[in-house]
Amino acid sequence: MMLLQTLIHHTYFLLSAVVALLLLTRLFRRKSRPGLAYDIVYAYAIIPFILRALHVK
């Protein structure tokens, strides 16, 4: 059970990193919604995922 919990816990950080990477990719490489407002949203939305992946918050 401890192993399972540890695995779930670390998967959570891994998922944060994956989402951060996805947002980062979409910030620079996307075909739809190229406007400034969307750039800001992508750049801002990435923050919590990076902070969690880096074990800051």
Partner 1 sequence: MSDRALVARRAALLMASAALMVVGTQDIRALRAYRETVVVSEAFTRQVPLSTYFDGIRGTLMDVPVFAFDSGVPGGSVLILGGAHAYEPASPVMAYVVMENIAVTQGRVFVIARANMSASTLGMLGNAYPPFFRVRTPWGEKKYRIGDRETHPLEQWPDPFTFVHYPSKQNLAYQDSRNMNRTFPGRPDGNLTERTSFAISELIRREKIDLTIDVHEASMGYPVVSTYVCHERAEELCMMAAMMLSAEQFPMKTENSPKSLRGLTHREIGDFTESFAVLMETPEPFIDKFVGPMTEALMLTGKDEFMQTAADRGLLYAEYDMKTGATLDYRVGRHLAGAAEVVKQMGEFYPGKKVLAAWPTYAEVMEKGIGAFLHDPAGADPSRVFRH
Single out the residue of 49, 11, 12 nearest to residue 27, CA to CA. 49
Structural element, H or E, at residue 5: helix 2-28
CB of 34 to partner 1, least distance (A): 7
- How many angstroms separate the CA atoms of 53 and 57, rounded? 9
Using the minimum distance from each CB to partner 1, give the nearer residue, 17 or 39: 39
- 31-50 residues near partner 1, rule: CB under 8 A: 34, 36, 39-40, 42-44, 46-47, 50
Q: Least Å distance between CB 10 and partner 1?
A: 10
